[in-house]
Structure 1
Amino acid sequence: MSDTLKPLHLGQTSALPASPEAAVLDYVPNPRPGALFMVRFAAPEFTSLCPVTGQPDFAHLVIDYAPGETIVESKSLKLFLGAFRNHAGFHEDVTVGIGQRLLAEMQPRWLRIGGYWYPRGGIPIDVFWQSGPVPEGLWVPDQGVAGYRGRG
């Protein structure tokens, strides 16, 4: 998290980072500090690379979190997620790694991520991770992504 919480990307022209590690995520003060609410980001066209074959992998990511003192700025999140296009990683590593980085930097009250990966080799893989129990009183809707059904 930056010391000043001044976003680097908001209102600026920003290039896609060369890697997820090089991506800078911006955080701004929570506009409703003390209120218990949930924020959802959906990235239905997320891509990364298979670490074995180098072929593209596609996923629908859903990130839910209950803010603490800060919220993640959406343009910086978009650039961070876009940086995975040339990143090789197994579905489990990519999904959990995104959640853990957001948790470590933003320090929300709670966070979960669902990675709904499209099939390669005939097997879809769904990966789920959350930071801990859902805070009491937080409304957490279903992520709304249907299980893979193929063409039927």
Structure 2
Amino acid sequence: MTSDARHLTQLGHAAPIPASPDQAKLERAPNPQPGALYLVRFSAPEFTSICPVTGQPDFGILVMDYAPKDWIVESKSLKLFLQSFRNHGAFHEDCTLEVARRVIEAIDPVWLRIGGYWNPRGGMPIDVFWQTGAPPEGLWLPDQGVASYKGRR
């Protein structure tokens, strides 16, 4: 590990899946390209949580794009954080925005957007989109690459 990564407690170490999002530790690393305007994308194609009313599992795809400032999200800690939702009861809207909120708290990005593309519940998909504001001028914003619902193909 570089000297900048010595503070990381999960990367390079055995780390169990946290029991809940509240117990998950989202870690950060210094931006290796400070001052550059660029986009980082994380896709979680097998995101799961639990319906808070029925206890049934919910499945979706989360796509998060952000433009870093001083910090980047450490990906192993993000994976563990996302896995911590597996047994967490929350509505789609809450899960999607909670992920965004925690990332913002951890790294204070220039800009962030998230798309939660949820599989149907009761025959209806629920997609949730949020961003911190207008994207910075000159930032390349590719399509999130998830089909509008028609079986999500």
**Same fold flag (TM > 0.5):** yes
Q: Counterpart of 1:130? A: 131
Paired letter, 2:33: R
User: How do residues 1-152 of structure 1 correspond to structure 2 at under 5 angstroms?
Assistant: 6-150=7-151
* Cα distance in structure 1, aligned partners of 2:101 and 2:117: 17
Cα deviations by residue, 1:52-94 (Å, 9 ceiling, x for unpaired): 0000000000010000100000000000000000100000011
Determine what percentage of the aligned residue pairs are the same residue: 64
- Structure 2 length normalisation: TM-score? 0.94
Greater CA drift, 98-107 or 36-45: 98-107
Cα deviations by residue, 1:94-137 (Å, 9 ceiling, x for unpaired): 10111111112210000010000000100000000101110011
Give the unaligned 5+ runs of structure 2: none
* Cα distance in structure 2, aligned partners of 1:123 and 1:11: 41
Cα deviations by residue, 1:13-46 (Å, 9 ceiling, x for unpaired): 1000010010001100000000000000000000
- Please provide the CA RMSD for this pair: 1.5
Structure number with higher strand proportion: 1
* Cα distance in structure 1, aligned partners of 2:140 and 2:117: 22
Aligned residues: 149
- Structure 1 length normalisation: TM-score? 0.95
Give the unaligned 5+ runs of structure 1: none
* Cα distance in structure 2, aligned partners of 1:11 and 1:32: 23
